[in-house]
Amino acid sequence: MREKATTLYIGPQHPGITGNMMVRLKVEGDTIVKATTEVGYLHRAFEKLQEKRNWLQSFTLMCRFCVPETDPMEESYARAVETIEGREVPERAKYIRVMVLELARLASFMLWYGGQNGSLGLYTIGQWSVGDRNYILDLFEELTGGRVYHMYIWPGGVRRDLPKGFEQRVLKTMDYIEKRLDDYDDIMFNNAIFKKRTQGVGIVDKETAIEYGVVGAVLRGTGIKSDIRIDDPYEVYDKLDFEVPTAEGGDIWARALVRRQEARQSIRIVRQVIADMPEGSVYNRIPNPQKWTLPKGDAYVRTESVRGEIGLYVASDGGLYPRRVHLRGAAYVHGITLLEDVLKGSNVADVSAIMNSLGTCPPEIER
């Protein structure tokens, strides 16, 4: 006998540190027949606000687009402004930027470890990884003065040079994290429960991925090798040696495998960057921010965030403020259209796990 369909409202809070959004589900039994995402809890209108903030003030808003992804946003804005203005960035600053971006990736992966497992009721690893992430945040605090919102990568370079002995402390932390990643493997990737809950769940096939414009680990989890750091390198990524991991299957498990490898690649990149970092200035100073105008023009820059490729469009009409800032984030596609599609036919219990695995980030969706 066909079961009667019921409507279920999931959210706006979710297990797994996803952020505030609601998913309205039509379920038959515990099978989802239709999913509708309802966002609107976190809209702060940053893009609009930036039109009334000068070029420097706008920079401080960028990091707030997506909480676990602060640095790729700053990086994108800085590069967009530099492109419009033709402002050079000192070589050392480029290395520092890459170091920060990779540390940020790592910190974000640590959060994902907690979130992905938390969404499945596996809380131990979250205690570990979020605790270990604090060591990276300590580094950020030392370097930038802030733990989560760094506001460090600004147009023209970075705000401050590395503190004395910072490189050694970074390397020490990298060694520690690398060791810890093995511990995580023990209780996550070699865990029957995790396998059972993720293998064959939340499948995104290759065609769907391409059709929807899916990026990042979700795309690489379908076996497609794509990474802006390799395809369209920025800063000094073209000088670095690292791999872009992929996995087959397109399910939560495949995406988890990709992220697992990527975390290790980030450590590898940080080590290289520290080894190769040249001396020199870190900042090509902008003029008095109150009078700083950019020439007429626009720029679209692509950056590999943890969630995948993000594109930032910045337009200048020659004035004191950006005429338009627009982010093409990864989460918008993943967290709305793709999520609705993937949830169809899934089990209610897997909603949070799928949301997390797709890289749903409501603050970035709504901006």
Binding site for another protein (CB under 8 A): 53, 56-58, 60-61, 64, 124, 128, 131, 134, 138, 141-146, 149, 151, 159-160, 163, 183, 186-187, 190-193, 195-196, 199, 283, 285-292
Cα–Cα dist 52/198, whole Å: 45
CB 186 → another protein: shortest distance, Å? 5
Task: Judge contact between 64 and 149, C-beta under 8 A.
Answer: yes
Through-space distance between the first and last CA atoms of the chain, rounded to whole angstroms: 45
Q: Return the structure tokens found at 261.
A: 């490898």
Q: Which of residues 166 and 212 has its CB atom nearest to another protein in the complex?
A: 166
Residue-wise burial string across 53-92, b where 16 or more C-beta atoms lie within 10 A, e elsewhere: bbbbebbebbbbbbbbbbbbbbbbbbbbbbebbebebbbb
Q: Residue 165, Cβ neighbours under 10 Å: how many?
A: 9
Nearer to another protein, 58 or 76 (CB): 58
Q: Which residues of 34-44 are buried (b: 16+ CB within 10 A; e: fewer)?
A: ebebebeebee
Q: How far is the CB of 166 from another protein (least distance, A)?
A: 11
Q: Which is nearer to another protein, 199 or 337 (CB)?
A: 199
- Closer to another protein at the Cβ: 188 or 204? 188
Query: Looking at beta carbons only, is 283 or 300 nearer to another protein?
Result: 283
Q: How far is the CB of 284 from another protein (least distance, A)?
A: 12
Cβ atoms of residues 275 and 307 within 8 Å:
no
Residue 64 CB, nearest approach to another protein (Å): 8
**Residue number, 60 or 208, with CB nearest to another protein:** 60
Q: CB of residue 225 vs another protein: minimum separation in angstroms?
A: 26
In the block, tokens 């802030």 appear at: 146
Going by C-beta distance under 8 Å and a sequence separation of 6 or more, which residues neighbour residue 144? 100, 150, 151, 152, 159, 160
Work out how close the CB of 44 gets to another protein at its nearest, in angstroms, rounded to a whole number: 12
- By beta-carbon proximity to another protein, the closer residue of 8 and 56 is 56
Q: How far is CA 55 from CA 283, 317, 346, 353, in A?
A: 16, 12, 45, 39
